[in-house]
Amino acid sequence: MIRPLLGLAAALLAIAPQAVPAQPRGERPSVAITFDDLPMAGAGDVPLAEARAANRAIVRTLRRERVPAIGFVTEQNVTALGDAGRRLVRDWIAAGLELGNHGATHADINRLDIAAIRTEIEAGERTIRPLAERYRRPLRFYRFAYNHVGETEAKRVAIEAALAERGYRLAASTIDTSDYLFNRAYVRAATDPVSRARIIRAYLDHSRVQIRYYQGLSREVLGRAPPAILLLHVNEINAATLDELVALFRAEGFGFVSLAEAQADPAYATSPAVATKFGPMWGYRWARATGVRVDGSKEQEPPAWIATYGETGALPPSP
């Protein structure tokens, strides 16, 4: 649960571990995979060699597994890596993957007025607009940093209008795996392969639980589960585990679709009319917009030791 993505759910209900039912038989779920912070999350602090290796591993897995995906580009991350950053973004679109806009500076739009938000949107196109034109691919989707959509209703509506003027739809997200927390721990364990393997196991276990939880949340709120939309980041742990994440979804019965295919479902025809300073997944937004009460205590936190290890390097004994 990405902080502050968890905000609305946490504000409503305490979160505690609890078993989550598997996908019911007879349903054929699908998922669109999305990556934020292209070409690399935290690009200014990540060596170029690691950014290049992560991108190549992710793109290679997506192509080998025939999985469509979209990478949301943050322009300041491109700038941080210079010409190499632009080449990494180009590699995505050249591989047949889609690019989306994640803003110029990864700014929190709750702290910006509409004029500044327009600048954030437009300046976010510096790299991706010429590439889209060169490869004759559309720029269709925008996702704001922290999954925010505006902290007041008037601002939320104004933001969507500003996006529409540039030809964008707001990108939805329905499954969060808190990958950034696991990545922080994974990076800290760079010289400890045993700890890295333990972190990967915990990440995949948590991802399985979250897939089931969020599918159940959609069914509870909407009466069915529309195509899911997975929110990931371009980082080292996803580069190391993407093949296993893909296999995990397949084991749960999922097929893979593009973001455009997912958001063609009627559930995504309009954004939930929910203004919040937080950035919760759309299941919670749908619940708030429709007045459906949900028990957020069923959502499971990542293991506490993951955050502790990522912050301090203190690793508890293996169970």
The separation between CA 121 and the C-alpha centre of its own chain, rounded to angstroms, equals 18
Q: Residue 208, SS3?
A: helix
State the CATH architecture for 7-14+29-312: Alpha-Beta Barrel (3.20)
Which residues, at least 6 apart from 314, have a Cβ–Cβ distance to it below 8 Å? 308
Question: Average pLDDT, whole number, for the chain?
Answer: 92
Q: What ranges do the domains of the chain cover?
A: 7-14+29-312
- Whether the predicted pLDDT of 316 surpasses 90: no
φ, ψ of residue 27 to 5 degrees: the values are -90, 140
Tens-place pLDDT, residues 209-241: 999 999 999 999 999 999 999 999 999 999 999
Q: Residue 99, SS3?
A: strand
- Cα dihedral 45, 47, 52, 53 sign: negative
Q: Residue 150, SS3?
A: coil
**Between β-strands 175-176 and 169-170, what pairing exists: parallel, antiparallel or unpaired?**
unpaired
Question: Measured between alpha carbons, how far is 117 from 114 in angstroms, rounded to an integer?
Answer: 5
Dihedral-angle region of residue 150 (phi above 0 means left; psi in -120 to 50 means alpha; beta otherwise): left
pLDDT band at 27 (very low <50, low <70, confident <90, very high): low
Question: Measured between alpha carbons, how far is 268 from 262 in angstroms, rounded to an integer?
Answer: 8
pLDDT band at 315 (very low <50, low <70, confident <90, very high): confident
